[in-house]
Amino acid sequence: MSYHALESLGTPEILRVDKVSVTLSGRQILDDVSLAIQAGEFTGLIGPNGAGKTTLLRVILGLQRPTAGQVAILGQPRARRTQAIGYVPQKVLLDPDMPMRARDLVALGLDGHRYGIRLPANGRAAAVREMLHAVDADRFSDARVGDLSGGEQQRVLIAHALISRPRLLLLDEPLANLDLRSGQEVVALLARIAREQQIAVLLSAHEMNPLLPVMDRIVYLAGGRAASGATGEVVTTEVLTRLYGHRVDVLHVHGRVLVVAGPGPDGELPVPAEFGRHPAGGASGGNPLEAG
Ligand X SMILES: Nc1ncnc2c1ncn2[C@@H]1O[C@H](COP(=O)(O)OP(=O)(O)OP(=O)(O)O)[C@@H](O)[C@H]1O
Residues found near ligand X in the complex (CB under 6 A):
24-25, 27, 29, 47, 49-55, 90
Q: Which of 33, 39, 42, 54 binds Mg ion (CB under 5 A)?
A: 54
Stretch that binds Mg ion, among 23-31, 54-62, 68-76, 103-111 (CB under 5 A): 54-62
* Cβ at position 281, least distance to ligand X in Å: 10
The residue among 24 and 108 lying less far from ligand X, judged by its C-beta, is 24
The residue among 52 and 270 lying less far from ligand X, judged by its C-beta, is 52
User: Could you say which of ligand X, Mg ion, none residue 230 binds, taking C-beta under 5 to 8 angstroms by partner kind?
Assistant: none
Of 202, 239, 224, nearest to 284 by C-alpha is 224
CA terminus-to-terminus distance, the chain = 26
Pairing of strands 42-46, 217-222: parallel
The contact pattern for Mg ion, residues 75-114, with x = CB under 5 A and - = no contact, is: ---------------x------------------------
Of the CA atoms within 13 Å of residue 292, those in its CB half-sphere come to: 5
The residue among 90 and 284 lying less far from ligand X, judged by its C-beta, is 90
User: Could you say which of Mg ion, ligand X, none residue 51 binds, taking C-beta under 5 to 8 angstroms by partner kind?
Assistant: ligand X
**Cα-to-chain-centroid distance, residue 86:** 11
User: Could you say which of Mg ion, ligand X, none residue 47 binds, taking C-beta under 5 to 8 angstroms by partner kind?
Assistant: ligand X
Q: Are 38 and 199 in contact (CB under 8 A)?
A: no
* Cβ at position 187, least distance to ligand X in Å: 18
Q: Are 126 and 180 in contact (CB under 8 A)?
A: no
Residue 52 DSSP class = S
The residue among 6 and 93 lying less far from Mg ion, judged by its C-beta, is 93
Q: Are 217 and 206 in contact (CB under 8 A)?
A: no
Helix (H, G, I), strand (E, B) or coil at 222: strand
User: Could you say which of ligand X, Mg ion, none residue 50 binds, taking C-beta under 5 to 8 angstroms by partner kind?
Assistant: ligand X
Q: Are 289 and 239 in contact (CB under 8 A)?
A: yes
Residue 270 DSSP class = P
The residue among 47 and 174 lying less far from ligand X, judged by its C-beta, is 47
The residue among 40 and 272 lying less far from Mg ion, judged by its C-beta, is 272
Residue 239 DSSP class = H
Is residue 141 a contact residue for Mg ion (CB under 5 A)? no
Give CA–CA dist 65/63, Å, rounded. 7
Q: Given the rule CB under 5 A, which residues bind Mg ion?
A: 53-54, 90
